[in-house]
Structures are given as C-alpha cells and as structure tokens.
Amino acid sequence: MIGALIMSHGDQNGLVLPPTVAPTQIVLMPVGPWKKNPGVMEKLDEIFYNLKEAGYRVRLDDSDNTPGYKFNEWELKGACIRIECGPRDIENGHVIVKSRDVADKQKVAFEEIDTFVADELTAMTPRLLEKARKRVKENEYLHINTLQELKEHIETCKEEDKTPGFVLIGWDGTEETEETIKEETGFTTRNIPFEAPMEKEVDIVSGKPAKHTLWIARAY
C-alpha cells in the first residue's frame, strides 16, 4: 500500500504524501539573515508551538544548511507544507508558504496561519486524488485487441518517449495466455476491474472468447 501511494503521488523531487500519512505535515524554516534578527526565531517558535498544540506533525529546521538545501531535503521527505520566515517577513507581518503539490508560493498573514494550514491540509488530499486519477486516465488504452496491436503500441510509445501505460484486454483465463503476453511484451496482469470502461469479447492472444476483461501493464 505504501509503495502504491509513493508511486502514485511522488514526483522527480521526492515524496508527495497525503497529510494523513505524512510523517511531517508542516516544516518551518528561517530564511535570510535570520541569525542577526532574533525576532525571526521568536516568531517561528510561536508558530511552531501553536501548530503543535493544534495537533499537527510539525518540524522547525533551524540548521545551518542553505535554504536551497533545506527546501530540497524537505521536498524529498514529503513535508506537506513549508513555511518560511525572514527579517523582511517579520517587518511585513506575514510568512511565505509553499504546499508540496503546488508550484507557487504565497504570502499568509501571521494571524491567518492557523486557518490557512487547516484549509490547505484538508484540500491537499482531494487535489492529489484528482491528479492521480487524471494521470491514470491519460495513460489508459482501450483500443488494443490483439497481441500484434499491443506490440505496435509499445513500439509507438518507445518512439514518442511515452509510457505504454495500462492496456485493457480480453483474457481467456489461461496461464498460457498470461505467459505469452509476459514473454513477448513484458506486460503482466494488474487487476480484473469491478467496473471496466468496456467489456472485451476476444482474448488478445488466442482470439477465443474472453472470460475476463483485465488491465495489463509493465512493472518498473
């Protein structure tokens, strides 16, 4: 289950985890010349304890690593929300917030942090689910009915530098068919869906009547 979650939501920067399972939901970081301005850590300590008291899994990274290093480290670990604060932010009365699954940063006033965090963590899981569903839908192929068509599909995807995705096929229920598909294409059975988008009537290898409609794909 954890492996499927990581494969479904992770990106090139590391883990992207739903807030309910993320070990760190929020990470706080001082930025800029914060060591010369005690007010930065005072404010971050205040935010840290408020969020901790509210029941969130929160970390305060005041290490000597560069901001870029810390940004990358916590993205790799899948922290859901990053909150940055520096001397200028103290002057302006806000923090800079970056959600793990959203590209843009935004400014959040000190007095609005609690509400923002609650709303953002609630919104993150539906966003991740929608992205995952969209990605799966974009990589589903329903038009392949023969082994030759499957091979041509694989070759086309290779030429276009695309993943061959999930292919819906008809299966006669025999191990021989599964073994032939695996040997000749590298595809293996993923599942027999409860509600397939369409029913396949013919086995992809033998051409015999299909007993099941199932998804096949390559394992990476």
Per-residue pLDDT of the chain (220 residues; tens, 9 = 90+): 666 777 777 778 889 999 999 999 999 999 999 988 999 999 999 999 999 999 999 999 999 999 999 999 999 999 999 999 999 999 999 999 999 999 999 999 999 999 999 999 999 999 999 988 888 888 899 999 999 999 999 999 999 998 899 999 999 999 999 999 999 999 999 999 998 889 999 999 999 999 999 999 998 6
Pair of tokens at residue 51 = 């969020």
Query: Distance (Å, rounded) from C-alpha 140 to C-alpha 128?
Result: 19
Residues 151, 4, 177: CA angle, nearest 5 degrees: 35
The pLDDT, as a whole number, for residue 81 is 98
Outline which parts of the chain fall under CATH 3.30.110.30.
140-217
Residue showing tokens 């290898």: 205
Residue 143's Cβ-count burial label (10 Å; 0-12, 13-18, 19+) is exposed
Radius of gyration of the chain from Cα atoms?
24
Task: Report the interhelical angle of 175-185 vs 147-159 (nearest 10°).
Answer: 30
Please state, as a whole number, how many other Cβ atoms lie within 10 Å of the Cβ of residue 215: 18
The pLDDT, as a whole number, for residue 220 is 66
Outline which parts of the chain fall under CATH 3.40.50.800.
2-136
Strands of 166-171's sheet, edge to edge?
140-141, 166-171, 212-217, 188-191
Query: Distance (Å, rounded) from C-alpha 188 to C-alpha 178?
Result: 7
Domain 140-217: CATH superfamily is C-terminal domain of ProRS (3.30.110.30)
Residue showing tokens 């695309």: 162
Domain 2-136: CATH superfamily is Anticodon-binding domain (3.40.50.800)
The pLDDT, as a whole number, for residue 33 is 92
What's the pTM value of the predicted model, to 2 decimals? 0.76
Sorted by sequence, the CB contacts under 8 Å of residue 73 that are 6+ apart come out as: 65
Helix, strand, coil percentages for the chain (3-state, nearest 5): 45, 20, 35
Query: Distance (Å, rounded) from C-alpha 215 to C-alpha 220?
Result: 16
The pLDDT, as a whole number, for residue 170 is 96
Alpha helices for 139-166 (secondary structure H): 147-159
